[in-house]
């Protein structure tokens, strides 16, 4: 299941994103996660697109988070953790 915009993969990403940012006090919905990653990466979300993320991509997603949530509590570390966990679940 490597299709872009795979609903099962997006659900996993939403969950791992919410878990990764829990310490910020921000409660993100699945749609929130989709919006910030889609905005930050500028294209379809898939296992491959997340696996190919660069530091610049992480910075771009962080900037999208800052704008979307109107605060800068989410760090690149939060984003990296969410992506790593989502990929870990999909590479078993």
Whether residue 2 has pLDDT greater than 90: no
pTM (2 d.p.) = 0.92
Domain limits at 31? 7-90
Question: Does the pLDDT of residue 71 top 70, yes or no?
Answer: yes
Q: Evaluate whether 73 touches 51 at the Cβ level (below 8 Å).
A: no
| Nearest partner of 26 among 74, 86, 78, 88, judged by Cα | 74
Q: Is residue 1 part of a domain?
A: no
Residue 48 DSSP SS3: helix
Answer whether residue 77 is part of any domain: yes
Statement: residue 53 has pLDDT above 70: yes
Domain count, the chain: 1
- Measured CA to CA, the distance from residue 74 to residue 65 in angstroms comes to 7
pLDDT tops 90 at residue 20: yes
Q: Is residue 22 part of a domain?
A: yes
Residue 60 domain flag: yes
Tell me 4's DSSP state: T
């Amino acid at each position: 299941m490597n299709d872009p915009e795979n609903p099962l993969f997006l659900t996993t990403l939403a969950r791992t994103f919410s878990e990764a940012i829990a310490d910020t006090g921000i409660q993100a919905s699945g749609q929130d996660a989709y919006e910030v990653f889609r905005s930050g990466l500028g294209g379809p979300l898939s296992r491959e697109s997340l696996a190919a993320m660069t530091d610049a991509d992480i910075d771009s997603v962080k900037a999208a988070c800052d704008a979307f949530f109107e605060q800068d509590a989410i760090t690149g570390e939060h984003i990296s953790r969410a992506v790593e966990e989502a990929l870990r679940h999909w590479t078993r």
